[in-house]
Homo-oligomer: A and B are copies of this chain.
Amino acid sequence: MLGDGLKAGLTQAGYAVDWLRDGEAAVAALSTESFAAVVLDLGLPKRDGLSVLQWLRGRHDATPVLILTARDRLEDRVRGLDLGADDYVLKPFDLDEIAARLRALVRRAHGRPEPVLTLGEIELNPAARSVTRGGQAVELTPREFDLLHLLLQNADRVLTRRTLEEQLYTWNDAVDSNALEVHIHHLRKKLGNDLIRTVRGVGYMATMSAPAA
């Protein structure tokens, strides 16, 4: 059922999709055909998803791989990235998010830069990892950049604290502190107070215009 939805969604997003229902079939397909990218569910029957990934990288096949993993299987995600996965998405997943990340992966694989993100007077260049405000360069630390990147990719949409922390800290899930708040604070200091809106009790959202007083 999960596969059905995923296939339908990605097809609608403009991809040609081959859906292999177990690890063995996936290996068989990957040995004979060439794909732009692979979406790999780590909970595959017959042959474990991680072993498929390991096998693929063992052949020096650089096809971009996006892994799908359950929220409570943190160690799988870490192992997946270690084995050469390019990105991951947590289940239950959002179709738009998968489509967007796939597109980014395929772009990168072709050596094409990801498009610049713009919101108001802020501009973020993922390839150069640079940010400008009103045309003027702004220096951000790595964490600040990643956080801003996430927010801009989801502009006008509330991101929960949980989501942000999960994306920001791939390995160490339990960041039991207000680190996020501190980074938000630094971003606001550098980019202006209007860019990032607090949604009390939920999270944060990047948005262009301030609300009507």
Chain A residues with CB under 8 Å of chain B are 14, 57, 60, 62, 77, 81-82, 84, 87-88, 96, 103, 107, 110-116, 118, 123, 127-129, 136-137, 139, 141-142, 154-158, 199-202, 205, 207, 211-212
Min Cβ gap A59→B in Å is 10
Sample (27) of A-B pairs whose CB atoms are under 8 Å apart: A14-B87, A14-B88, A60-B116, A60-B123, A81-B103, A82-B107, A82-B110, A82-B112, A84-B115, A96-B112, A110-B156, A111-B157, A112-B154, A112-B156, A112-B157, A127-B156, A127-B157, A127-B158, A128-B156, A128-B157, A128-B205, A129-B158, A129-B199, A137-B211, A139-B211, A142-B199, A142-B202
Q: How far is the CA of A116 from the CA of B62 in the complex (A)?
A: 10
A199 CB contacts on chain B under 8 angstroms: 129, 142
Whether the pair B137, A212 counts as a contact (CB closer than 8 A) is yes
Min Cβ gap A114→B in Å is 8
Min Cβ gap A162→B in Å is 15
Q: How far is the CA of A88 from the CA of B11 in the complex (A)?
A: 12
Closest B residue, CB atoms, query A123: B60
Closest B residue, CB atoms, query A74: B16
A116 CB contacts on chain B under 8 angstroms: 60
Min Cβ gap A27→B in Å is 19
A82-B107, A129-B202 known; A57-B154 Cβ under 8 A = no
A155 CB contacts on chain B under 8 angstroms: 111
A110-B156, A128-B158, A136-B212 known; A14-B115 Cβ under 8 A = no
A110 CB contacts on chain B under 8 angstroms: 82, 156
Whether the pair A201, B82 counts as a contact (CB closer than 8 A) is no
A212 CB contacts on chain B under 8 angstroms: 136-137
Closest B residue, CB atoms, query A111: B156
Closest B residue, CB atoms, query A14: B81
Q: How far is the CA of A111 from the CA of B119 in the complex (A)?
A: 12
Q: How far is the CA of A205 from the CA of B142 in the complex (A)?
A: 15
Q: How far is the CA of A157 from the CA of B114 in the complex (A)?
A: 9
